[in-house]
Structure 1
Amino acid sequence: MTAAERVADRRERLITAAYGLFANPGFHATTIERLCSTAHISNRAFYECFAGREELMRAVYERCVDDTLNAVGAAIEDAPPTLEGRIVAGITEYVRFVTLDVRRARIMHLEVRRAGDVLSGSRQKAVAGFTHMIESSLKGLQEELPAELHLLALALIGALTELLIEWVLSDDRPEKDLLVATAVHVFRRSFQN
């Protein structure tokens, strides 16, 4: 391997290790030494890839968000071109994809908050991405949309986020179908004039 390929390989191994460790035992409980041990690299090699744990957490979180945006975007694209069709498809795929791997759900909805201010910019960027997806997928429909679509989209993202935090933290997790039904209900009621 070339030097660049070795760095890319180490970076990917660190992201894979962090995906598991940042989900459990969590961001704050995971040391650089443990990350390096799990990824089978030296501490020095860590710093060739990332400036610190925060930068690694940002890379893991942004990958989770990008993968989720792609999955949800594809589901909305394949949905019927109606408000109902796009809302149901988007919510269903979001819940399905995020909960498919509890590590993704924990990183996106719990650990990103626990990481604190160092990830607030990445979190805001993710919220903006999902808000834009909602707005752009609904504009152009024949149906009448609320004038405050942007603020409504933000509020709906917050509601869905809290439902998934409940799912992550509960000992007796709510059924995924119930999460979808609840979020769809909130979305439907919000879009009624």
Structure 2
Amino acid sequence: MNGRSYRGMSAEERLAERRERLITAAYTLYSDPGFPETTIEKLCAAARISNRAFYECFSGRNELLQAVHDRCVQETLLSVSKSIEQAPDTLLSRVEAGIAGYIGFVTEDRRRARIMHLEVRRAGDCLTRSRQQAVAAFSQIIEANVFDLPGAVKANQRLLALGMIGAIQELLIEWVLADDPPAVDHLISTAVHIFYRSFVT
């Protein structure tokens, strides 16, 4: 690929623009009909690029899903961090703010919730590392913003954080898959109850 411009865009800019179109297409198609059902041909048609151009951007569907998932995670991390920073400096306030920030942001767009909590599992082992990195990042937020406050339990903090993350994931999977999804505020209040009962001495 050379650096000549085309329609006012350099080769690097064209590549970046195609990647964004593919990420946008995958964000929708990997949610519905889902990752296993979405072919490269469907992705290319939605992004309006050729199959050859696809492979200039990504090695395959798995790498594209990783890019979509990683972006969802980074956006959610920012939302959660901002919510906690703005909360009063008490244990319950931080717990409520962090959980509401996470569940509220993820459920703003069903595609985001489905990709982060269902489709990455359906993708199999290829996304295991990305999932582990996401869990580690959210666990660090919990450990840094909750366990240093008075009243927090002194048990194995990492295991408690992982357990809480798992509980929230299952609540969101239920929200994604249920024919009659529970109200988001009910998800938040349930998670806060579990969290507070587990983390407070």
Give TM-score scaled by structure 1 length: 0.98
> Does the CA contact (< 8 Å) of 2:70 and 2:130 recur in 1?
yes
The residue correspondences of 1:94-173 to structure 2 (distance < 5 A) are 94-173=102-181
| Aligned AA (1:161) | Q
Unpaired runs of 5+ residues, structure 2, are: 1-8
> Does the CA contact (< 8 Å) of 2:151 and 2:200 recur in 1?
no
> Does the CA contact (< 8 Å) of 1:135 and 1:150 recur in 2?
yes
> Does the CA contact (< 8 Å) of 1:15 and 1:59 recur in 2?
yes
Q: Distance in 1 between matches of 2:199 and 2:61?
A: 41
With 138-147 and 53-62 compared, the bigger mean Cα shift is at 138-147
> Does the CA contact (< 8 Å) of 1:82 and 1:143 recur in 2?
no
> Does the CA contact (< 8 Å) of 2:120 and 2:127 recur in 1?
yes
Q: Answer yes or no: is 1:3 the counterpart of 2:11.
A: yes
Q: Answer yes or no: is 1:50 the counterpart of 2:89.
A: no
1:162-193 Cα deviation digits (max 9, x unpaired): 00000000010000111001000000110133
Q: Answer yes or no: is 1:41 the counterpart of 2:49.
A: yes
| Aligned AA (1:35) | L
Give TM-score scaled by structure 2 length: 0.94
Aligned length: 193
| Aligned AA (1:89) | A
Identity %: 61
Unpaired runs of 5+ residues, structure 1, are: none
Q: Answer yes or no: is 1:182 the counterpart of 2:186.
A: no
**Paired residue secondary structure (1:38):** helix
- Structure 1 runs (4+) greater than 4 angstroms displaced: none
| Aligned AA (2:37) | A
| Aligned AA (1:85) | S
Structure having the larger proportion of residues in helix: 1
